[in-house]
Amino acid sequence: MTALAPASVGFRPGAQIVPAETVHTTPLGYDRVSIPAGAPLPIPAASELVYRLNTCDEVEVNFQGKLGDTLLALAAARALTDWLKLRSAPVTVRAVGPYAGLIARSGLAARSPVTASHGRRAVIGDRAAVEGRAVETAVSLVCDPAAPPCWSSDGRAHPDLPARYYLALERRLGVRLPSTAPFAPLLATAPSAFVEQLRSAGWLDGLTIAAITATSWPERKDYTARRFTELAERIAMAEQTQVRLLIIGGLTDSGVHVAAADASQPVQVLHLDGVPADQLADLFPHCRLIVGNDTGLTHLAAMTCGPDGVGPPIVGLYARHSHSKWRTGLPNHHAVATALSDRMHQGDLCPVRDALAPGTNVHMDAFTPASLARLCLDLLSEGRR
């Protein structure tokens, strides 16, 4: 990257390795790179957990909470399935709940309806899902984003949530698991009637940019359609081409709503509100660039890829929360972060969990369309090399 952001805002590339000595971390307790996959760790396993898992013939992957929390926690399910493969255990792994279809795209579990257990079941998921199945469960694994620390090993920090989850479960299982960073699983895509409709209407021709406005915290995280449109206009002017901007909103009471908006000639705007996440997963790899706030659909965009295993560059906007923790850890998932977000990253802090008042009103207006356009143009240029 050659473009410079304002002094209070920094670009953090997805492939950047964070040295352990620059941030607050918890030592993993072993040099991971020196231990072969499948070998015991030099720290004891959680014996009761391992004992109970060894008695199970079924694993249920079940999340009921927010989309973003669910996607980042899939690395824990990856750790558990990696462990089962090392043991060659004849265990059925199935995904249930509202995100079963998306989870099945990871290849970690097959989609299945919720049924009564015919054997001993382990459940891995968020607290709401695990507590709802506790009566029928032999052992539960709760994925709580506030729980796993920022681990460090071999001189590097592992700040992203997928790495935290994977390594936390590896330590508890007492075995060096085979996966290496990035630990977030990729989600496969498939041919989609929705995507073909957009393509036939010309929305995927040329330079298509997706902008994500959906968020559970709009007063803090919504960059707004107006700012995204200005960003697209600046990119169109610099590239001397027409930009097609897909502004992706959240769920609506009236269901899916698709509407083209008036815009200046260099930018055509299409609002997509209430489109289900599985349809968006098939759409994202067809975009040249995706920009969004720290939210589930931005994480989904980073984790989806085309048949070649490659996805477009993703730019997440981080005003208050740690830009490193709330990312997938994938090399194409970048961050633009304020100084406050960088301090949250450095100290492994959370303004909500740790009840930290920001000290100043830090909102999305810290990211000017002009400075953001320069960063996005660099990413588009790198993609053409």
| pLDDT tens digits along 212-270 | 998 766 666 789 999 999 999 999 999 999 999 999 987 666 667 777 776 667 999 99
CB atoms within 10 A of CB 145: 19
Mean pLDDT of 130-136: 84
Mean pLDDT of 5-15: 80
Mean pLDDT lowest among 45-49, 96-100, 254-258, 295-299: 254-258
The beta strands (E) that lie in 43-126 are given as 58-62, 92-96, 110-111, 121-125
Please, what is the Cα angle at 109 between 138 and 56, to 5 degrees?
20
Continuous segment of H or E residues that includes residue 2: none
Predicted pLDDT at 115: 65
Task: Tell me the C-alpha distance between 110 and 95, whole Å.
Answer: 6
> What residue ranges define each of the domains in the chain, with the CATH number in brackets?
9-14+188-383 (3.40.50.2000), 31-173 (3.40.50)
Predicted pLDDT at 221: 74
Peptide bond into 182 cis (omega under 30): yes
Residues 367-377: tens digit of each pLDDT:
999 999 999 99
Mean pLDDT of 38-52: 97
Predicted pLDDT at 5: 47
Mean pLDDT of 331-338: 96
| Residues contacting residue 201 through CB under 8 Å, at least 6 positions apart | none
Helix, strand and coil percent figures for the chain, each rounded to 5: 35, 20, 45
Predicted pLDDT at 3: 44
Task: Tell me the C-alpha distance between 281 and 315, whole Å.
Answer: 16
Distances (CA, A) of 82 to 62, 247, 327, 361: 18, 37, 22, 44
Q: Quick check: 297 pLDDT over 70? A: yes
Predicted pLDDT at 140: 95
Tell me the whole-structure pTM to 2 decimals: 0.94
> How many residues are recorded in the chain?
385
Mean pLDDT of 180-198: 95
| Per-residue confidence band for 86, with pLDDT thresholds at 50, 70 and 90 | very high
Predicted pLDDT at 2: 42
Predicted pLDDT at 384: 65
Q: Quick check: 335 pLDDT over 60? A: yes
Predicted pLDDT at 178: 98
Task: Tell me the C-alpha distance between 82 and 109, whole Å.
Answer: 12
